[in-house]
Structure 1
Amino acid sequence: MKLPAEAVAATALIEVIRISALPAERGVAYPGRVGAHWVGAEVADALALIESLPGSAQHRCGFSPGWSIRAYEDSLELALFEAAFCFRCHEVRMHGRAVPPAPATQFFDADTASGQALLALFRTAAP
């Protein structure tokens, strides 16, 4: 999976969100409870895992994401990007000031070892 390279390099903190509903419009933060904050090596490991996700064909479920991550730089002001993951339709939607339009929607293989590892990481962080 492709993440915005400059944003990955600048990320100092990740919030893990257990999504409770879809936002009213695209480009708005997904509502939910923050379950964890990752810093340092946790950030690097999580982003490397996400970038290692293999692509997949689009599946149909209506996009009902369960988890998202919000990446912040040192200032912790506006999120660099948010990525919401749906493990049923294998879709991830990203938005934020560091996200160009081209990779805003991608598809990943949630059934691979890396996909299942990411899901387990989310479940541990934001049950």
Structure 2
Amino acid sequence: MQLPAEAIATTVLIEVVRISALPARRDLPYPGRVVTHWAGNEAATALSLLESLPGSEQHRCGFSPGWSIRAYEDSLDLVLFEAAFCFSCHEVRMHGPAVPTRLATQFFDADTPPAQTLLARFRAAGP
């Protein structure tokens, strides 16, 4: 998976969100409960894990993401990007000021060890 290079360099905190619905518009935050925060080495490890997600072809499910992450820069005022993950259709949708259009929709192989590790980390974080 490709992440915005600027965001990788400046992310200091990641919020993990258990998504409860789809947003009214694609550029709005995904509604849901923040279940944990990853900072420091934990945030860096999460970003490396995301970058290691292998690409995949699109699978059809209608995009029903269960989890998202929000990456923040050091002032914690600006969300650099949000990425919502659907492990059924293998799709990631990203938006935010650091996300170029070409990275907004990507596909990952949800059956690979990196994707299963990410899913396990999400599940361990909250309900």
Bucket of the pairwise TM-score, normalised by the shorter protein: over 0.9
Aligned amino acid, residue 125 of structure 2? A
Q: Which residue of 2 aligns with 1:4?
A: 4
Q: Return the TM-score normalized by structure 1.
A: 0.99
1:100 partnered with 2:112: no
Q: Which residue of 1 aligns with 2:72?
A: 72
Q: Which residue of 2 aligns with 1:31?
A: 31
**Consecutive unaligned residues in structure 2, runs of 5 or more:** none
Aligned CA-pair RMSD: 0.5
**Consecutive unaligned residues in structure 1, runs of 5 or more:** none
After superposition, where does 1:1-127 map in structure 2 within 5 Å?
A: 1-127=1-127
Deviations 1:33-55 (A, max 9, x none): 00001100000000000100000
How big is the shift at 1:126?
Answer: 2.4
How big is the shift at 1:63?
Answer: 0.1
Q: Return the TM-score normalized by structure 2.
A: 0.99
Identity, % of aligned positions: 75
The DSSP-based 3-state class of the residue aligned with 1:64 is coil
How big is the shift at 1:78?
Answer: 2.0
Aligned amino acid, residue 58 of structure 2? Q
Deviating beyond 4 angstroms after TM superposition, the runs of 4 or more aligned structure 1 residues are: none
